[in-house]
Chains A and B, each alone.
Chain A
């Protein structure tokens, strides 16, 4: 009974946070892209466009759900449902923190720990291509079909280097469970360099990131929805909530691959420095941000900043205070610190995703395929072989 109750609570919390995060990831993306292009981005709905995601959701829900007459009805409705379900399901096996004890109940900061967690994520992501492929086919539209075909070819090709890049750190830690992968990365070399897999596996990390851009259909590999060739690619015939499902699936996939990269290569929730120093970092960081914003708010360059700078400054001071006070309650401190480090790494990777979208142009289709098979695949293979040799050499 306790197990059921705890699982329900955890599921509700994770789902609420994930869905809100999805909506705001889109806001972050629009803001970051805008600032890369020297614009301001969404600015009308709420302060600095903060309520824009809410407005978008209301718009998408209340739109008319139009169904074109020439589509295959069953698969047309099945495709967005498949895409969003398979994209959201992976979060169930991703851990965000160590074991904690709340009100005498011991529990892990994750929904469930599978012994084959990594294989589960690979399986779900490999089945996820059906959503896009079916959408392209069922729309009965040549642009959509081309998008679906490109997507399935691209995802099959990039799955290979991705799986090989994942296999290399697994050789080092000798397990398939995400929790044990993170536990194996605890500790420090020479007392201050974290034992993260990214240091011995830097090549694998880069290969994984590049392959994950292709797996999530992001720029520079967003051929399936290339606007200037295919109108909108596989979702050209979709509107309202069905379109929103594809949108959600894309962002959920982004969060999943970023979380997998964090867990496998960047040590999950393990801090950058040994605990006594790293526990002070969030307090200092948020306090410094708050003070800087308060000082900058006294002489703002733009009229609006007279209000927004002090408000955000007070909020960051409040967060700094929460982190500071959490030293009194060990459980709260564990939860906050592991979440802080996990989210910090996750957001850095997501920022790289958006940064690259704002920087690089799209590949041509033949370049995309040649890149996967003649560059990425041999690099991943060589990396795996070298890692295997090193592991065999050192363990005897």
Chain B
């Protein structure tokens, strides 16, 4: 049952990703990105990373993408103009190069990780909120704090840039 769901979700994620780049309208692209994030969240859930899945939905799909959609709606951005017609040779070469690129990537992965076991769904149990919290406040305390300082700097920078006079 689990591989069946995996194929459906992975297919949905890939479909949304292709739709994200091929749509001409910004709102449609943004919503495709939400679709990708939703599918990824469910994939995390299948792997046992329940907290990451919830955080993905709340932070990325629920907050960041809503802001994106908000800004697109506020600017009232229209559909993109179709690009100039591409020549048949360029299209053919593009396809060929993409196939080569994908081949190189899969070869590298196979060469780098030859002894990796297959993925087993639901076997890993370290993804609860408690375990992640413990890790964040013990092993990864420094990166965690540095990230929060980084976000604070970004916030202060945004306010300084946005204010007319200080």
Contact B61 A119 (CB under 8 A): no
Contact B63 A137 (CB under 8 A): no
Contact B69 A136 (CB under 8 A): no
Query: Can you identify 13 A-B contacts, CB atoms within 8 angstroms?
Result: A119-B54, A122-B58, A126-B66, A133-B66, A133-B73, A134-B69, A137-B27, A148-B73, A152-B66, A152-B69, A152-B70, A155-B66, A159-B63
**A-contacting residues, B75-111, CB 8 Å:** 76
Q: Which residue of A lies closest to B128 (CB)?
A: A115
Of B50, B55, B61, B70, which is within 8 A of A127 by CB? Answer: B61
Q: Which residues of A contact B70 (CB under 8 A)?
A: 133, 149, 152-153, 156
Distance (whole angstroms) from the CB of B31 to the closest CB of chain A: 8
Q: Helix, strand, loop or mixed for chain A's interface?
A: helix
Q: Helix, strand, loop or mixed for chain B's interface?
A: helix
Q: Which residue of B lies closest to A123 (CB)?
A: B57
Contact B73 A126 (CB under 8 A): no
Contact A130 B66 (CB under 8 A): yes
Which residues of A line the B interface, CB within 8 A? 75, 114-116, 119-120, 122-124, 126-127, 129-130, 133-134, 136-137, 145, 148-149, 152-153, 155-156, 159, 176
Q: Which residues of B contact A152 (CB under 8 A)?
A: 66, 69-70, 73
Q: Report the Cα distance A93→B2, complex, angstroms.
A: 21
Of A119, A129, A137, which is within 8 A of B129 by CB? Answer: A119
Q: Report the Cα distance A122→B41, complex, angstroms.
A: 14
Q: Report the Cα distance A155→B73, complex, angstroms.
A: 16
Q: Which residues of A contact B27 (CB under 8 A)?
A: 75, 134, 137
Q: Report the Cα distance A129→B62, complex, angstroms.
A: 8
**Inter-chain pairs besides A116-B54, A119-B54, 13 sampled, C-beta below 8 Å:** A75-B31, A119-B129, A120-B54, A122-B54, A123-B54, A123-B57, A127-B34, A134-B31, A134-B69, A137-B73, A148-B73, A156-B70, A176-B129
Q: Which residue of B lies closest to A114 (CB)?
A: B50
Q: Which residues of A contact B67 (CB under 8 A)?
A: 156
Q: Which residues of B contact A149 (CB under 8 A)?
A: 70, 73-74
Q: Which residue of A lies closest to B45 (CB)?
A: A116
Q: Which residues of B contact A136 (CB under 8 A)?
A: 73
Q: Report the Cα distance A153→B66, complex, angstroms.
A: 9
Of B51, B57, B128, B129, which is within 8 A of A126 by CB? Answer: B57
Distance (whole angstroms) from the CB of B79 to the closest CB of chain A: 10
Of A119, A148, A153, which is within 8 A of B51 by CB? Answer: A119
**A-contacting residues, B15-70, CB 8 Å:** 27, 31, 34, 38, 50-51, 54-55, 57-58, 61-63, 66-67, 69-70
Q: Which residues of B contact A119 (CB under 8 A)?
A: 51, 54-55, 58, 129
Q: Which residues of B contact A133 (CB under 8 A)?
A: 66, 69-70, 73
Contact B73 A127 (CB under 8 A): no
Q: Which residues of B contact A156 (CB under 8 A)?
A: 63, 66-67, 70
Q: Which residues of A contact B73 (CB under 8 A)?
A: 133, 136-137, 145, 148-149, 152
Q: Report the Cα distance A124→B57, complex, angstroms.
A: 8
Q: Which residue of B lies closest to A126 (CB)?
A: B62
Distance (whole angstroms) from the CB of A73 to the closest CB of chain B: 12
Contact B58 A123 (CB under 8 A): yes
Q: Which residues of B contact A114 (CB under 8 A)?
A: 50
Q: Report the Cα distance A302→B51, complex, angstroms.
A: 59
Q: Which residue of B lies closest to A119 (CB)?
A: B54
Contact A129 B54 (CB under 8 A): no
Distance (whole angstroms) from the CB of B122 to the closest CB of chain A: 13
Q: Report the Cα distance A75→B69, complex, angstroms.
A: 13
Contact A126 B63 (CB under 8 A): yes
Q: Which residues of B contact A122 (CB under 8 A)?
A: 54, 58, 62
Q: Which residues of B contact A148 (CB under 8 A)?
A: 73
Q: Which residue of B lies closest to A125 (CB)?
A: B62
Q: A116-B51, A148-B73 are in contact. Are A123 and B128 (CB under 8 A)?
A: no
Q: Report the Cα distance A189→B38, complex, angstroms.
A: 44
Contact B58 A130 (CB under 8 A): no
Q: Which residues of B contact A126 (CB under 8 A)?
A: 57-58, 61-63, 66
Distance (whole angstroms) from the CB of A163 to the closest CB of chain B: 8
